[in-house]
């Protein structure tokens, strides 16, 4: 077995982590800024009972996600390729929640898609219109029922070759959906040690056949976007960004301005009112 190996962090606890390499899984002392999903170089050390890992280096990340904690942005996962936003008619998912996550993923080099969960429930026109808003801007949407297992095959096929994080409001079915896909109850995870101690992890990465990876991070619901500069917000609204290129003036603020193409597209229903309102709200929030 090689003394220095490359692996990926698959479990992260408060002061330790579990790293998977081609030679097995090794418990390591967590180092600063390491998170689940990180690829690392580690040195294998043998103590009196077992092999342990010493992390030497965190390799370059293709993407990373943060969440607000006590007023500060804290990194919580790395190397995610896609975020699945759970949208449900009950409890009702707001467009603000959806648009925040579309914005955050766009600015984090991650692709967002929508999981339209609870299709077993009756839905009204308002909800159908909400889903169509995102279909119209070419966001991938997968209809399913996590509770009854309806159409999970399409979702399973879609995440092949991807590393996915699911996000949703309380009651949206995130734990149910993730548990169905990975075939494991997510209430507790076992840290591999001689005592077999069960400890709730902060985050976990599950590897499935077909090069599917799912990162489960408890507590990932609403997010703050106040850390983004105002001029970056429009990047999370691709149809608004495209429309803005035809505005008469380059410094147009898109609020009742002469020659504003966005307002024209809004009037003609090319741009949805909810997307426009969220864009202005996010951009001009003080």
> Which domains does the chain show, CATH number per domain?
4-58 (2.40.50.140), 64-216 (3.40.50.300), 230-284 (1.10.40.50)
pLDDT of residue 187: 56
pLDDT of residue 198: 38
Give the count of beta carbons closer than 10 Å to the beta carbon of residue 228.
Answer: 16
* Predicted confidence (pLDDT) per residue in 97-134, tens digit: 999 999 999 999 999 999 999 999 999 999 999 999 99
Distance CA(134)–CA(227), nearest Å, equals: 25
Distance CA(248)–CA(259), nearest Å, equals: 5
Positive/negative CA dihedral, 230, 83, 200, 78: negative
pLDDT of residue 67: 81
Positive/negative CA dihedral, 143, 145, 146, 152: negative
Contact predicate 116/87, CB 8 Å: yes
Contact predicate 202/14, CB 8 Å: yes
pLDDT of residue 186: 67
- Residues in the chain where the model's pLDDT stays below 70: 1, 48, 69-71, 186-201, 219-222, 286
Strands 189-190 and 212-216: unpaired
Residue 30: what are its φ and ψ, rounded to 5°?
-70, 140
- pTM score > 0.75 for this model? yes
pLDDT of residue 272: 97
């Amino acid at each position: 077995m090689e003394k220095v190996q490359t692996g990926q962090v698959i479990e992260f606890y408060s002061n330790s982590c579990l790293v998977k390499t081609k030679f097995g899984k090794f418990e390591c002392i967590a180092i600063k800024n390491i998170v689940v999903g990180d690829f690392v170089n580690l040195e294998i050390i043998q103590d009196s009972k077992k092999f342990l890992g010493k992390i030497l280096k965190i390799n370059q990340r293709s993407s990373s996600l943060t969440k607000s904690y006590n007023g500060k942005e804290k990194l919580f996962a790395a190397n995610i390729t896609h975020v699945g936003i759970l949208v449900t008619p009950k409890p009702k998912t707001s467009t603000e929640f959806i648009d925040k996550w579309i914005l955050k993923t766009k600015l984090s080099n991650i692709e967002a898609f929508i999981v339209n969960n609870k299709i077993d429930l009756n839905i009204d026109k308002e909800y159908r219109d909400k889903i169509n808003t995102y279909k119209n801007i070419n966001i991938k949407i997968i209809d399913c029922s996590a509770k009854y297992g309806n159409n999970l095959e399409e979702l399973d096929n879609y995440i092949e070759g991807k590393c996915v994080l699911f996000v949703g409001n309380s009651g949206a079915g995130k734990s149910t959906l993730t548990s169905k896909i990975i075939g494991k109850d997510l209430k507790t995870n076992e840290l591999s040690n001689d005592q077999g101690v069960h400890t709730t992890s902060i985050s976990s990465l599950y590897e499935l056949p077909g090069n599917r990876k799912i990162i489960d991070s408890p507590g990932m619901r609403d997010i703050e976007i106040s850390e983004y500069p105002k001029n970056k917000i429009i990047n999370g609204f691709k149809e608004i960004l495209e429309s803005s290129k035809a505005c008469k003036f380059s410094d147009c603020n898109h609020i009742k301005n002469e020659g504003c193409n966005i307002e024209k597209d809004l009037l003609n229903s090319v741009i949805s009112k909810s997307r426009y309102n969220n864009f202005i709200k996010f951009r001009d929030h003080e």
